[in-house]
A and B are shown apart, each in its own frame.
Chain A
Amino acid sequence: MKNTIKQAFHSSKFVTGFVIFMFVLVTIFVYPLIVTRDPLEMVGQGNFFKPGTYVAVSDVVGTNSNYRLNVDTSAAKLETGLSVENRAMMADWLEKYGEVPASDIDVTDAESLVALWNEKYDPKTVIKGMTIAVRNQYMRLNNQIQHALKDSGVIIAEKNEETGELEEAKSYDGREFVNQGDLPNTQTFLLGTDNFGRDVLTELVAATKVSLGVGIIAGVIATIIGLILGLLAGYVGGFVDNLITFITNLFTVIPSFVLLILISYSVSESARGTTMVGILIGITAWPWTTRSVRSQVISLRNRDHVNLSKLSGHSMMRIVFTDILPYIASYVVMAFILQISSGILAEAQLSMLGLGPSTTTTATLGLMMNWATQYSAHTSGTWWAYFPVILVIALISFSLNLMNTGLDQIFNPQLRD
């Protein structure tokens, strides 16, 4: 046993898979100790906030800081303020109505583009054939640009409580800065927020934990059922074997995913928690474990050491547990790993169809995907709502499969290179 484990850690594939899996596991357990926020707390009002650090606007104004930096702030404002669409619009106008040759327009250089725009564009000129809507659009764009260019200060006014008049409290110009460390209220959402305004990263970590749990429940159940039926069919043989093989073949022919959908559909929504989904996946995933265990046991059944054990008067249970099970243990471990991986995938698939765990108190990887799809995150370009989830699913199943391949090479000398 010790040697086998030692051997496993000499396989680079196994080690790579193991390290990735351990990284996921450690993250699951360490992250909640650092970020104690409820993973399903709706921190944002509104959906799909971009990843980044959020700063309270009033704090920026209220923080006393006398940092004046000698930098040109308008350029940076222009760079971030002018979207690709806006730049295309500007280039379009300049080319059509400003009579600027296309070769002189460089949309990547915001400063020269704006300079060109200020030189040519006049909101008062009326161009024939242009609809008012388009004209207004250009005027709005012009206002936006002029606002970004404005370097004059902002006056902060406070209401005088006695007279009700506004009095100037402070004034700022564009070059005054606040140190981020001085701000009392900042919120960092490394992966933004989702459609319900929940922090995606925190939710993702919690969801990974739940999904792994579902996978393990499914894996344990599928492996136990598969192992018991496979051992019975393989060792007892005869009628028992025929019956079990018949049932197994029946389950193999009916795609287990269809079966899973039907069962999930018929289980009432209130009863369909994460544990229930895990159990459902487990009881539909056993057939191939049964088949492979059965064939392994049949080849072991006629080995001399089993015959000798029989001649020594051992009971069937004892022979199965001491003479058969240890020989297929490595194989069963590998099957178990694959069952966990496919259990996680099955949960994600079911949840995508809306048949996963119906709960509002926990998140699973599949549910996160489902929510992102329902709020059309994929069409609105809010990648942070679904892409990290896909990545985590891929990472988990990749690491488990890699571990399995590594083990396979150790236990199956024919595959060694």
Chain B
Amino acid sequence: MRDFNNAKPCLTGKGVTKTFGFGDKKMNAVDHVDFNFHEGEFVSIVGESGSGKTTLSKMLLGLISVTEGQIDFQGKPRDISTNAKKKEYWKGIQAIFQDPFASYNMFYKIDSVLLDCLKMRGDGSLPYEKKFELMTEACSFVNLKFAELTNKYPFELSGGQMQRLMIARIFLLKPKILLADEPTSMIDACSRATILDMLLKLRDEINMTIIFITHDIGLAYYVSDTVYIMEHGKFVEYGPADKVILNPQAPYTKRLINDVPKIYEEWDLTTV
């Protein structure tokens, strides 16, 4: 585990809140959360379903508006008021979504996803041979052969292949921050380890900040430097992964740790 106290802050938030509904039905999905993510840090946000993880991630991505609070990107207040500024912001932050089957437009060949990335990078005018080379390189990074995948439709690929292709996309874009919203929850255990390893490799190679959103605290412990525990839209506990998981303070964290099924012990269901 590395120490990130002196590293440059990459994405910080103060009192970030998202409210849905009006009047009696008013509900704070994310309730005044503060966070500080550093460059090169592997951050996990752990919480059960409905705790506001995905809402927070969408706010971080700028896909939905922030009701209250401020988000700083690379030390400066984030400005995504116009489409051009949003486009610029998205060069710095990208995402991998939970469901690889829903992440692709099923009417277009998978080439178009990678070609869009090249265009976003500013390599849209390169000759096709050069583009092909770049795409092949990105695919070989995730152990895929582009020559086999080209001209295929998304539904011709397996879930694991699709998710790896999403990582290839990130490899091409090389953003400062990667927001991975439960990228392994729809994938079998074997592919899961591969995908996590690839994310770690990507972090090491380009010093990327990875915000890993998961409901699996065991997985979070395995990969992350810092862990944020989220309950009902609030961070109840956060800190280095060792400290939070080996010595949990909040009762919610203890419960989450107890809920992890263990192979050699009888599963304690009393806390559920």
Contacts A304-B97, A304-B98, A304-B99 given; does A311 touch B105 at CB 8 Å = no
Distance (whole angstroms) from the CB of A171 to the closest CB of chain B: 83
Q: Which of chain B's residues 44-102 have a Cβ closer than 8 Å to chain A?
A: 58, 61, 63, 83, 87, 90-91, 94-95, 97-99, 102
Judge whether A326 is part of the interface by a CB distance below 8 angstroms: yes
Q: Which of chain B's residues 5-29 have a Cβ closer than 8 Å to chain A?
A: none
Contacts of B98 in A (CB 8 A): 304
Once the chains bind, are B102 and A304 in contact (CB under 8 Å)? yes
Please report the C-alpha to C-alpha distance between residue A313 and residue B61 in the assembled complex, in whole angstroms: 12
Of the residues A312, A326, A327, contact of B120 by C-beta under 8 Å: A312
Once the chains bind, are B63 and A305 in contact (CB under 8 Å)? no
Please report the C-alpha to C-alpha distance between residue A326 and residue B108 in the assembled complex, in whole angstroms: 10
Contacts of A327 in B (CB 8 A): 107
Once the chains bind, are A303 and B102 in contact (CB under 8 Å)? yes
Once the chains bind, are A311 and B90 in contact (CB under 8 Å)? yes
Please report the C-alpha to C-alpha distance between residue A305 and residue B105 in the assembled complex, in whole angstroms: 6
Once the chains bind, are B90 and A322 in contact (CB under 8 Å)? no
- Chain B residue at minimal CB-CB distance from A319: B105
Please report the C-alpha to C-alpha distance between residue A326 and residue B107 in the assembled complex, in whole angstroms: 7
Once the chains bind, are B94 and A311 in contact (CB under 8 Å)? yes
Distance (whole angstroms) from the CB of B157 to the closest CB of chain A: 14
- Chain B residue at minimal CB-CB distance from A303: B102
The size bracket of the interface on A is 10 to 19
Judge whether A307 is part of the interface by a CB distance below 8 angstroms: yes
Judge whether B103 is part of the interface by a CB distance below 8 angstroms: yes
Of the residues A310, A313, A316, A322, contact of B105 by C-beta under 8 Å: A322
Please report the C-alpha to C-alpha distance between residue A314 and residue B83 in the assembled complex, in whole angstroms: 10
Judge whether B135 is part of the interface by a CB distance below 8 angstroms: no
Judge whether B116 is part of the interface by a CB distance below 8 angstroms: yes
Please report the C-alpha to C-alpha distance between residue A187 and residue B71 in the assembled complex, in whole angstroms: 87
Contacts of B63 in A (CB 8 A): 307, 310-311
Contacts of A314 in B (CB 8 A): 116
Once the chains bind, are B102 and A305 in contact (CB under 8 Å)? yes
Contacts of B83 in A (CB 8 A): 315-316
Once the chains bind, are A323 and B105 in contact (CB under 8 Å)? yes
Contacts of B117 in A (CB 8 A): 312
Contacts of A310 in B (CB 8 A): 63, 90
Once the chains bind, are A313 and B87 in contact (CB under 8 Å)? yes
Total A-B Cβ pairs within 8 A: 49
The size bracket of the interface on B is 20 to 34
Distance (whole angstroms) from the CB of B174 to the closest CB of chain A: 14
Judge whether A253 is part of the interface by a CB distance below 8 angstroms: no
- Chain A residue at minimal CB-CB distance from B97: A304
Once the chains bind, are B107 and A311 in contact (CB under 8 Å)? no
Please report the C-alpha to C-alpha distance between residue A380 and residue B153 in the assembled complex, in whole angstroms: 65
Please report the C-alpha to C-alpha distance between residue A326 and residue B104 in the assembled complex, in whole angstroms: 13
Once the chains bind, are A305 and B90 in contact (CB under 8 Å)? no
Judge whether A69 is part of the interface by a CB distance below 8 angstroms: no
Please report the C-alpha to C-alpha distance between residue A305 and residue B63 in the assembled complex, in whole angstroms: 13
Contacts A310-B63, A311-B61, A313-B87 given; does A322 touch B97 at CB 8 Å = no
Contacts of A315 in B (CB 8 A): 83
Contacts A322-B108, A326-B107 given; does A311 touch B102 at CB 8 Å = no
Judge whether A275 is part of the interface by a CB distance below 8 angstroms: no
Please report the C-alpha to C-alpha distance between residue A312 and residue B124 in the assembled complex, in whole angstroms: 13
Q: Which of chain B's residues 160-213 have a Cβ closer than 8 Å to chain A?
A: none
Judge whether A16 is part of the interface by a CB distance below 8 angstroms: no
- Chain B residue at minimal CB-CB distance from A305: B105
Please report the C-alpha to C-alpha distance between residue A305 and residue B108 in the assembled complex, in whole angstroms: 11
Task: Indicate with 1 or 0, residue by residue over A318-339, a CB within 8 angstroms of chain B CB atoms.
Answer: 0000110011000000000000
Judge whether A308 is part of the interface by a CB distance below 8 angstroms: yes
Once the chains bind, are B95 and A305 in contact (CB under 8 Å)? no
Contacts of A292 in B (CB 8 A): none
Once the chains bind, are B105 and A309 in contact (CB under 8 Å)? yes
Please report the C-alpha to C-alpha distance between residue A323 and residue B102 in the assembled complex, in whole angstroms: 12
Contacts of A309 in B (CB 8 A): 105
- Chain A residue at minimal CB-CB distance from B166: A308
Distance (whole angstroms) from the CB of A115 to the closest CB of chain B: 82
Contacts A313-B87, A313-B90, A322-B108 given; does A308 touch B103 at CB 8 Å = yes
Contacts of A304 in B (CB 8 A): 97-99, 102-103
Once the chains bind, are B97 and A307 in contact (CB under 8 Å)? yes
30 of the cross-chain contacts (CB-CB < 8 Å) are: A304-B97, A304-B98, A304-B99, A304-B102, A305-B102, A305-B103, A305-B105, A305-B106, A307-B58, A307-B63, A307-B97, A308-B95, A308-B97, A309-B105, A310-B63, A310-B90, A311-B61, A311-B63, A312-B90, A312-B116, A313-B87, A313-B91, A313-B116, A314-B116, A315-B83, A322-B105, A322-B107, A322-B108, A326-B105, A327-B107
Given contacts A305-B104, A307-B95, A311-B95, 5 further A-B contacts (CB under 8 A): A304-B97, A304-B98, A304-B102, A305-B103, A308-B104
